[in-house]
């Protein structure tokens, strides 16, 4: 053992699955809450098809298999995704001087004399 107490929370812990693949799971499993699809849709405001499209594009956390025909999302992962979306949408825009501003064309610069 590493000398840590068993009650000390850890953010991520590696576990070995029977296939030999190491996966990451939350360290404190007492705080894991699963959300089913209707709740995830309500929290995110996204449709089922949008959620699964974002999962395929690795833009949303994948669900966890909790039964033979049942999946659910880890609440903390959905909350983290939502917090990142909020942060990304509220980043300040670049300074106005760095944007290209539309320029008015002078009458002599028009492509056609039809409009001159």
Q: Identify whether 20 is part of a domain.
A: no
74: Cβ–Cβ under 8 A, 6 or more apart, which residues? 26, 32, 33, 34, 35, 61, 64
Q: What are the φ/ψ torsions at residue 15 (nearest 5 degrees)?
A: -130, 155
CB atoms within 10 A of CB 35: 19
Q: What does the pLDDT read at residue 31?
A: 81
Residue 59 lies in a domain: yes
Question: The domain containing residue 46 runs over which residues?
Answer: 32-89
How far apart are alpha carbons 102 and 82 in whole angstroms?
35
Q: Which tens digits make up the pLDDT trace of 35-81? A: 999 999 999 999 999 999 999 999 999 999 999 999 999 999 999 99
DSSP 108: G
Q: Total domain count for the chain?
A: 1
- Any domain includes 80: yes
């Amino acid at each position: 053992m590493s000398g840590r107490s068993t009650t000390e929370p850890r953010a991520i812990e590696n576990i070995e699955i029977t296939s030999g693949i190491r996966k990451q799971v939350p360290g404190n499993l007492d705080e894991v809450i699963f959300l089913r699809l209707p709740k995830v849709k309500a929290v995110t405001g996204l449709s089922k098809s949008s959620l699964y499209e974002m999962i395929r594009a690795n833009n949303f956390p994948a669900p966890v298999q909790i039964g033979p025909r049942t999946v659910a999302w880890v609440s903390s992962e959905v909350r983290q995704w939502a917090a990142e979306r909020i942060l990304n949408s509220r980043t300040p825009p670049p300074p106005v001087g760095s944007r290209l501003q539309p320029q008015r064309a002078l009458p002599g610069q028009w492509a056609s004399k039809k409009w001159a």
